[in-house]
Chains A and B, each alone.
Chain A
């Protein structure tokens, strides 16, 4: 009976496939609603569709960034206060290499990948020695040093110091002004690919050990697992995804702001997965959507008071949905299915009995 409770492959993926189909059609549907023909949308003409694409790209970037945080915090249980550094390294390296060194995007991305591995290794140096809140504080220290570096005048030529990095020439084929629709689909494809990769990782034996480490590292050690290797694997994958999100941010945004390296930006990732559901992966996607749309909607209609209302809403979400939107949904739907199963067991006759007769 319990085996029947486990969702089938279609049931597991159908929500995401429907969402993906909706995301693929979104620019054209919005265009049609505003009286824009698909040809105008394809030609990147100005209008609501182009604006919505921009907003959606920001959601994808936030989602990828939050997804990377969910892997190390939600799945593996590593509380890092320096996660913004993973994102900022990707963004600043992309900006600086393209602007100051004139590197093409593909070469830049190779450097970003290399840097993402290096920063994960840097964080991993302290992994065997510190745990819990101490690890969080050490990572905060590392990220703060990086934040100070990009804000420093000495590196201002490359980073733009406290003003931020501006004037990066966007790659022609992904220029957010002239090729926004392509950028939209590239960002969507990147998010979907990374989500699939993360899902495969979490469902793999390696991912299950990461979940075991989150629950109790000592128990995982007693089973014969060198937990350091698993935490390092999660850090590497997380750092890579966050750096890619940063690179995408650099391509999309006109200014690479230094706040993306601050503690506040790490808290943003934490907030997104708290809204969506910690350790669910899907929660990062849902949380990013809610976070960005709430922020945008409230700022548009409430101006300066938006931050206050925003904060209040987050507090209410955390109080009334302690497992986040996805986590609570999963729990309630499981309870519902178990309830139906119990009712089904209690009924002495089954609807099919009559038909059989």
Chain B
């Protein structure tokens, strides 16, 4: 099968620690894939390894057929990979508009995507002149996702989008992510299994730095034993 993102047996070290010890992630084009696992399993490191922020020492990361290993993070991003980090990583001292404009890869990106972004997140239009630091947690998360939409990204890596958000905001966020899936392929790291299971079509479970199971989400939802074993949820 032809995958948009094909991660094979990557090994990543942070300092002297061997964090990823063989992770495989195969992401079909146009899908939403969830990376699941307990805290500290290596999900975020997997995303960072794909992006080149913590480059893997071994293995292969191919995006649309191109090898990403060895490329700098800014070169990886320039290929059309957007990243929405956890903790609503926006720029607090920049205004909402500046946060969006800074993501332009080509001049005019923001102007072209403005209408789509504001249709997904109408609140942002109202808050356009405020500094990022003045936004609420939910608004910051929306801004972080909106920022990844400004350039023409073919792949979006979203880390813990529901973390610390109120249930009503999570609903809104999920609707937005579903809408995003019509524009780009999505890889999602999500601690909240309920959210992940409602959004993703495929999944990969990472346990102690290794990918231990992968498949269709509809199968996992019915596999209570696996959920309990690896995710601690029932």
Contact = CB atoms under 8 A, between A and B. Distances in A.
Contact of A221 (B74, B91, B105): B74
Nearest to A213: B91
A225 B53 CA distance: 13
B129 A2 contact: yes
Nearest to A226: B74
A39 interface: no
**Dominant secondary structure at the B interface:** loop
Contacts of B74: 221, 223-227
Given A3-B129, A5-B129, A208-B98, A222 B91 contact: no
A122 to B, nearest CB: 23
Residue from B73, B77, B83 with most neighbouring chain A CB atoms (10 Å):
B73
Interface size class of B (residues with CB under 8 A): 20 to 34
Interface residues of A, number: 22
Contacts, number: 61
Interface in A24-45: none
Given A2-B130, A212-B102, A224-B151, A219 B77 contact: no
Contact of A224 (B78, B93, B98): B78
A205 B101 contact: yes
B212 interface: no
B112 interface: no
B94 A208 contact: yes
B103 A223 contact: yes
Interface string A193-219: 000000000000100110110111011
Interface in A272-291: 279
B10 to A, nearest CB: 18
A226 B72 contact: yes
Contacts of B165: none
Contacts of B91: 211-212, 215-216, 219
B128 interface: yes
A8 interface: no
Contacts of B172: none
B53 A218 contact: yes
Interface string B99-120: 0011101000000000000000
Contact of B128 (A3, A214, A222, A226): A3
Interface in A214-243: 214-216, 218-219, 221-227
Given A224-B151, A226-B72, 17 more contacts: A2-B127, A2-B129, A5-B129, A205-B102, A208-B94, A218-B53, A219-B89, A221-B77, A222-B51, A222-B73, A222-B77, A222-B85, A223-B74, A224-B74, A226-B74, A227-B74, A279-B93
10 contacts: A2-B127, A5-B129, A205-B102, A211-B91, A211-B94, A216-B91, A222-B77, A223-B102, A223-B103, A224-B151
Interface of A: 2-3, 5-6, 205, 208-209, 211-212, 214-216, 218-219, 221-227, 279
